[in-house]
Chain A
Amino acid sequence: GESVGLHLPTLSVQEGDNSIINCAYSNSASDYFIWYKQESGKGPQFIIDIRSNMDKRQGQRVTVLLNKTVKHLSLQIAATQPGDSAVYFCADAPVQGSGNTPLVFGKGTRLSVIA
């Protein structure tokens, strides 16, 4: 079956540095990808998404890069702040014709920001 996974389970960065969180997906038919941030005890919070017809998308301090050739997704956080400390999930929404397309999540990467 399809799977969405992450290369690193934990990531520690100094405050002010840039963070890069990576994700690999296996379904070449996937056409939509989302990054979520989940703080302790809370639900996933939408950060940014990207369609498969794009390679890059930027938001406020965040950039998502999509490499369809190697089925790799990354989230870049600029000038990482203590408030960015959380678990980050990538999720994949495979194309399934006219039916529903539930999100497939990876296990997550825990980002710790060192002050």
Chain B
Amino acid sequence: ETGVTQSPTHLIKTRGQQVTLRCSSQSGHNTVSWYQQALGQGPQFIFQYYREEENGRGNFPPRFSGLQFPNYSSELNVNALELDDSALYLCASSPTPKSSGNTIYFGEGSWLTVV
């Protein structure tokens, strides 16, 4: 158990729809990062939230957006879903924005299928 919980675990959406994925970080961790993992690939960094603000972004379009709440939990929103958005979406929490020296814990992920 990592203390990072994600919901829902699985969902199916239709192309063009919107989806919201949720993450509760490990107790005491103020930083949440989201990653997308396509089948057979390694996770790819989407963005990071720290102190309720976006604190860095990977190579993902603006239709990928997020929020972080005062309790450090976070949401990932994806608008205008495309078939290629089908992936495992992982949430990771850490005590600071820097990866170096911090043990970064991942949740079990949310499997999104776009049809």
Contacts and interface: CB of A to CB of B under 8 A. Distances in A.
B101 interface: yes
B108 A43 contact: yes
Contacts of B35: 103, 105
A18 interface: no
A89 B98 contact: no
Interface string A84-115: 00000101010100011111111110000000
Interface residues of A, number: 26
B58 A107 contact: no
Contacts, number: 79
Nearest to B46: A102
Contact of B56 (A31, A46, A102, A105): A102
B100 A32 contact: yes
A89 B41 CA distance: 10
B113 interface: no
Contacts of B90: 43-44
Given A44-B43, A44-B90, A89-B42, A100 B104 contact: no
Interface in B3-62: 4, 6, 31, 33, 35, 40-45, 48, 50, 55-56, 58
B108 A103 contact: no
Interface string A33-48: 0101000001111100
